[in-house]
Amino acid sequence: MVSDQRPGSDPRRLAALMTAAVERLSLQLRGYVVLTEAATGAYAVTPVLAALAGAQVFALANATRYASAEEIEEATLGLARIVGVEDSIELVHDKDPGLLKQVDIVTNSGQVRPIDQAMASHLKSTCVVPLMYEAWEYRLADVDLDACRSRGIVVAGTNEKHPAVDVFSFLGVLAVRELHDAGIAVHGSHILLLCDNAFRPFIRSGLEGCGAKVFEASKLAPQALIQEYDAIMVALKPGDTPVLTAADANLLGEQAPGTVVVQYWGDVDREALALVGVPLWPTQEPVAGHMGILLSAIGPEPIVRLQAGGLKVGEVMARGLDHATAAERALVEPLSSAVALRMCTIASSPRGTVN
């Protein structure tokens, strides 16, 4: 989708949502240089949010599968003009070493990725990388943590459940939207939710709130298929191999013929499902490790909240956790030792964090 023509994404409404998010989070980026991406639709808000909070912003603005470079420039700078921050945003087209040396905060947005060894080598040791998702959702392809750690660059996730962000409350609504797109009414439907992560209670609540009968399992097994379902919603944490394998596809073909598989999160073996005739939604395969439906499908609100929250995490880390309030520290999610990065608060560190 090049641009979102729905009235809920009117730029004037986006401006109001961004202003509210900056105020709600007390987002203050004056004096910082931010590197992020320019985009279209709801995703155009990221550089504008940073500029609205006082930052000087570099935004990568190359053509993507969603829009041309010209469309991205028009959407991003047009939104910036509405809130009066056009002069604070510079659109760029490559990660020039000279530019990287100026940056204080780098987001892991699409055009910025990957933040690899080559990129990290040009960043300042005081630079920080806020992930625009929770720490447990970390994707190796996004950020080379070893390269960042060797430079002293701190990486942390965003607490999406924090009341000032509250993105997880939209997950159930998003699940309902994806099922509707797949032709499942939800109300009165029997849904098997395959989920092994923190999304589970939020998805279940949203489905039940719309009248669905929800059954849960952390993985597909014969005993989970003892009754008929209208749909099986896959919301499993992605790994190196599909979360729904060829063996799972065969099981579905034998025990649940005609049941619709809805890929919410987690890669599935699409070829195997097609071979046994299992109906699958969405028809277009998502990028590996990414969700089967974008948050923006239900409107710009969750995008504005998430991007503003991620930028606030960047602010808190750049300023120093020892200078943050308890509410601000609660926004920052340290990456676990499982992904080779640990943060803690110490008075001797310039930013109050160490890797």
Question: Which pLDDT value is given to residue 342?
Answer: 34
Whether 177 is covered by a domain: the verdict is no
Sheet holding 332-334, edge to edge: 89-92, 56-60, 33-37, 105-106, 128-130, 154-158, 332-334
Q: How far is CA 2 from the centre of its chain?
A: 19
Same domain flag for 232 and 327: no
Task: Using pLDDT thresholds of 50, 70 and 90, give the confidence band for residue 337.
Answer: very low
Question: Which pLDDT value is given to residue 4?
Answer: 82
Same domain flag for 267 and 316: no
Contact 208, 246 (CB under 8 A): no
Contact 295, 174 (CB under 8 A): yes
Whether 349 is covered by a domain: the verdict is no
Instruction: For residue 120, give both structure tokens.
Output: 């990290």
Dihedral sign computed on CA atoms, order 16, 17, 20, 26: negative
Same domain flag for 210 and 313: no
Contact 200, 162 (CB under 8 A): no
Q: How many CB atoms lie under 10 A from the CB of residue 26?
A: 13
Question: Which pLDDT value is given to residue 54?
Answer: 98
Distances (CA, A) of 308 to 19, 165, 192, 286: 10, 8, 33, 25
Same domain flag for 62 and 114: yes
State how many domains the chain has: 2
Whether 294 is covered by a domain: the verdict is no
Question: Which pLDDT value is given to residue 280?
Answer: 98
Mean pLDDT to the nearest integer, 162-176: 98
Whether 346 is covered by a domain: the verdict is no
Contact 264, 237 (CB under 8 A): no
Same domain flag for 156 and 113: yes
Residue 329 to residue 323: CA distance in whole angstroms: 9
Same domain flag for 13 and 131: yes
Same domain flag for 201 and 151: no
Mean pLDDT to the nearest integer, 114-133: 97
Task: Using pLDDT thresholds of 50, 70 and 90, give the confidence band for residue 206.
Answer: very high
Same domain flag for 255 and 220: yes
* Vertex 194: Cα angle to 167 and 175 (nearest 5): 40
For residue 161, count CB atoms less than 10 angstroms from its CB and return exposed for 0-12, middle for 13-18, buried for 19 or more.
middle
Which residues have C-beta within 8 Å of that of residue 324, sequence separation ≥ 6? 316, 332, 352
Question: Which pLDDT value is given to residue 317?
Answer: 97
Task: Using pLDDT thresholds of 50, 70 and 90, give the confidence band for residue 150.
Answer: very high
| CATH code, domain with 140 | 3.40.50.720
Residue numbers of the domain that contains 226: 183-281
Residue 218 to residue 223: CA distance in whole angstroms: 12
Instruction: For residue 250, give both structure tokens.
Output: 């065969």
Average pLDDT of the residues of the chain: 93
Whether 234 is covered by a domain: the verdict is yes
Report which of 286, 280, 348 is spatially closest to residue 320, judged by C-alpha positions: 348
Same domain flag for 153 and 195: no
Concatenated DSSP letters of 244-269: B-HHHHHHHHHH-TTPEEEEEES-B-
Whether 350 is covered by a domain: the verdict is no
Sheet holding 260-265, edge to edge: 213-217, 190-195, 231-235, 260-265, 280-281
Q: What are phi and psi of 278, to 5 degrees?
A: -80, 120
Whether the pLDDT of residue 336 is over 90: the answer is no
Q: What are phi and psi of 102, to 5 degrees?
A: -90, -15
Same domain flag for 126 and 272: no
Instruction: For residue 253, give both structure tokens.
Output: 């073909």
Q: What is the pLDDT of residues 252-310, one digit of tens each?
A: 999 999 999 999 999 999 999 999 999 999 999 999 999 999 999 999 999 999 999 99
- Can you state the percent helix, strand and coil of the chain, rounding each to 5? 40, 15, 45
Task: Using pLDDT thresholds of 50, 70 and 90, give the confidence band for residue 119.
Answer: very high
Q: What is the pLDDT of residues 10-23, one digit of tens each?
A: 999 999 999 999 99
Instruction: For residue 290, give both structure tokens.
Output: 């990414």
Concatenated DSSP letters of 26-70: T---TT-EEEEE--SGGGGHHHHHHHHTT-EEEEE----SS--HH
Whether 352 is covered by a domain: the verdict is no
Q: How far is CA 275 from the centre of its chain?
A: 32
Whether the pLDDT of residue 113 is over 50: the answer is yes
**Which residue reads 């004056």 in tokens?**
30
Same domain flag for 44 and 149: yes
Residue 304 to residue 299: CA distance in whole angstroms: 10
Task: Using pLDDT thresholds of 50, 70 and 90, give the confidence band for residue 121.
Answer: very high
Whether 293 is covered by a domain: the verdict is no
Contact 216, 256 (CB under 8 A): no
Same domain flag for 47 and 74: yes
